[in-house]
Structure 1
Amino acid sequence: MKTSETYKKEILEKYNTDKGGEMSGYLAEPTRKKIREACLWLLNRRKEKNDEYILNQFFQFKEGEDKESHIKKLKGYKADKFVPVIQYLKGITRDTSSENLELISWLIDFQPRPLQVYRKPENLISVEKSNTSNEEISVGVPSEEEVNKGKEGVRSRKEEQSTKEKKRRWIITFSISIAFAAILVIAKSGMFVEPIVPTENKCMAWAKNHYEEVSCNLTFHKEYGTKIEPYDSNKIANFKKVKVTMKTDFFAEGTNKPLIWYTKNKDGKIEYFTSPGLHPVTGKTLDEITPYIIQKYVPLHSGGINSFAD
């Protein structure tokens, strides 16, 4: 049975398993600054049906306000308000307010959310209690016509359920057949499916321009001296430091979403990365690439033969 307690338990289990998933750069080691930056990053990106309700409850946004107003309020929001969220994620406190819990569910993309939706399958039938405890309730006797309609309705529902059950069995049988056929094809072709390696007790560290898997027994990377972090398959695969030129694809075709993020290092030079998040060494939040930054800092060519932009 789904309750508020199981809701809390499952949210914490998800967080402890993946540390925020795609947002682990902000949430694996949460601070007030990182929580605020995570909220700013997700504000215009994670917009499911009930997310507006969750944000309005936590940040006290007003109905009808535009996103620019929300961003302005969030930037001026007292960071101390995030302390209970951090304490709950770190296990310092065993309980927290519903507003804090719902914000966490939004940050880590827990599904389904919020609590009302999570519990909905268990509460399809609601019973309304009378405000007057001693009020008499009169029950009318149904007519013959109403009885017949009732019987027809029962038969109709039974037929509908029977049809749905047959359809469900057909889908299951078809799916099993497809899966079995796929296994045969793979076996005959000599191919194999590489097993999924669990990420528990696995760690990683930044190695010059990418993350690589390392022993969790280390404190720092032996060669680069970077800190050891919890293993994140998404970062291993997608988070890299790259060199760019005017021929680099900076924005996704069609959606125009950024494909490159940047920051300035201590020498004032621009460093470019293939994913959002925090700088793996300095911890500074990476910024989305913009046409202004491209025009001002990106070289026309990489220095090699035939590297000039068309």
Structure 2
Amino acid sequence: MKPRTSKNYQEEVLKKYRREKGGEMSGYLSTPTCSQIRDACIYLLNSRKEKKDDYILVRFFEFKSGDINIRDIENFGLGKFKAIEKFLKGEIKHTSTKNINLISWLIDFQPRPYEEFLKSNGSTHPYETDEQVPDHTNPPQTSEAPISPPEEEDLKKRRRLIITISIIFASLLMIMLILKPSLFNSNPIPNNENHCMAWADSLYVEVSCTSHPYSDFGTKVEPMDRVKLNSFKKVEVTMATDFFSEDEKPLIWYFKTKGGEMEFFTAPGLHPITGETLRKITPYIIETYVPLHINNTDSFLPRNQE
């Protein structure tokens, strides 16, 4: 019998997958996508737990607390399943050990994980692998040479020097942040009547603070917030609008008026008129309220604004 290696392991797992198309998980894995692979993990989480499976899941999903739970998997980036999808589809020939271990769990390959696969052949030394897998059940015994007094004193001096440099650096950083407007802004905005803004139908515009409490647009005068001024806008959307980023974070937020009208915004926060909290977009809202196409109209902005 030829020695078992990482290459053998990947070949055997892939052979079982192609033969059974995922077996029990064929509904998710016969034509796998990143989201289907994640959903299969969620489905199996509480139903397939053998002795070594916790190690496979903790290593792949990098659970910080050590507790394996569905919410962490739901929030796990879909892009991290891409290599698994490509491997199962034959687009790449090799993948990492933690990826192949997760596949072995999904299709119930035995023996798993990789190190158990090696042990099943009586192997007593590591074979070729793209990652070194630590054995958490029997950690290796290590011996450290005692540190001599001069070396210990030198180590203490280095630590004190590092701490001193860190304190100095932190202090300089705080000073720079405090003085940032005068250091980095060649044209700082003076703390005068122009340092305010107000909502003008579809976006914030700069207005005179002397018009407090209400601007010429009939909206409340607010202290200047450069981030909100540049990024918070009311927009019209269609099915062609990008509602989510590549990592599935919302790019649009919405508000439903008492009359049932839907308003869409480019950033989270409070509605500029009602003060109510905006809600992040969901697939249900898109399907229910977003039209296939609309005619764009210009935002209302008076010509003689201050």
TM-score over 0.5 for the pair: no
Using the size of structure 1 for normalisation, the TM-score is: 0.39
